[in-house]
Amino acid sequence: MKMRNTLFVLVALVAGMASAQVTSRNAANAYGEKSLAERVTKIEKQNDWFNLYMNMHGAFDAKFNQDSRNGLSEGAFNMRQLRIEAKGKVNDWLSYRWRQRLNRSNDGGGMIDNLPNSIDLAYIAVQLNEKLSLTAGKQCAAYGGFEFDANPIEIYQYSEIINNMSNFMTGLSLIYDVTPTQQLQFQILDSRNGSQEDTYGAGLEESRLPLVYSVNWNANMFDNAWQTRWSASLMEETHGKYMYYVALGNQFNFSERCNMYVDLMSSLEQVDRKGIMTNLLGGQGAFGGHNMYNALYNSLVTKINFRVQPKWNLFAKGMFESAGVAKDTDGVAKGNYRTSLGYIAGVEFYPMETNLHFYLAFIGQSNFFTERAKAFGQDDYSTQRVSLGFIYQLPLF
């Protein structure tokens, strides 16, 4: 018994040291798997006030670029995601969550919220009554869409529109459960993490209220057959210039074995927030040292899962995206400049009744530029990679 207690203390100390050293709105570890501490000590947890997880996504990536002489441009092992996460329920009205990326810089200097970008989440949630709750701190933006809503370790390749967004910012959220299957979320966050100049470039008048306002509708209808993650957001980027963002996420559960989601997203940015169009047309130097004006991005993303066997899942994902200019500005004509096609297919193997899975996936993207873009020196190109890896949210404590 003394040895068992000693082991328990050692595991707790290791967990504490890990948290001292170091989006998603998804629930952590929904499989009810026993933690590593419980397995080592043989002592079952008696409360839910502290849970510690290691989120891992590692792979061997073989990359193939169009201009590679022999087809293969690089093959290497890659820890694509490594995050440590703690969450818990202090009592019946107060809970918390913290998640930090271990493979990103911890420098918080110059950040508007005094937090490094390595911290995804650092918030408390207060249950005000049966239907109303408040979240305060650094959290995931309520942008909507199922790709955006997923745990980052589950994403093999983000769409371009999501991959170039700032997803985790500090502020407040008010969540109202209209019915057991209908939820509204009202959110106000900082609109950026770093300085305005780092985000948009020099020479733009600074906003006095650099904030983003979002409303999000989450629903589960027709006995779980149709789920929604819809949102509308207004962001003040610089003084008098805004980003308007809409996301319509829909998931369809056809059976216990088959489901798919379809996300529609559109972002109109009076100052190019994502920087894709700015870089495509010559960089900040082509626009007076700052990002270009009136960028427009549209995206359609869909993914289907089919559980052919209890331990085997087949999946396919497609992404159709465009990047352009909403109106003539700075000598750049209105219109579409690039169309991007993303495609992913693979197989997953779940060896245990947990979220651990191994996978083999093919991931590709083809970019097609219009004549407008080719006048700026752009040429069509494609990239592909084959990834063999694993994904696991390991419960440590």
Q: What is the pLDDT of residues 203-242, one digit of tens each?
A: 999 999 999 999 999 999 999 999 999 999 999 999 999 9
Confidence of residue 40 (pLDDT cuts 50, 70, 90): low
Q: What is the pLDDT of residues 317-326, one digit of tens each?
A: 999 999 999 9
Rounded-to-10 torsion of CA 111, 115, 121, 123: -110
Confidence of residue 110 (pLDDT cuts 50, 70, 90): confident
Which pair of tokens denotes residue 307?
Answer: 């559980």
> Model-level pTM?
0.88
Confidence of residue 19 (pLDDT cuts 50, 70, 90): very low
Residue 135, Cβ neighbours under 10 Å: how many? 22
pLDDT at 376: 93
pLDDT at 71: 77
Q: DSSP assignment of 99-117, as one string?
A: EEETTS----TT-TTS--T
Question: For residues 218 and 233, what is the distance between their CA atoms, to the nearest angstrom?
Answer: 15
The residues pairing with 365 across neighbouring beta strands, listed in sequence order, are 342, 383
In the chain, the N- to C-terminal Cα span, in Å, equals 20
N residues, the chain = 397
Stretch 105-127: mean pLDDT: 90
Q: What is the pLDDT of residues 54-109, one digit of tens each?
A: 999 999 999 987 654 567 888 999 999 999 999 999 999 999 999 999 988 787 77
Quickly tell me which residue has 């020196």 as its tokens.
Answer: 377
Q: With contact defined as beta carbons under 8 Å apart, do 342 and 318 qualify?
A: yes
Which pair of tokens denotes residue 11?
Answer: 């595991």
Residue 320, Cβ neighbours under 10 Å: how many? 15
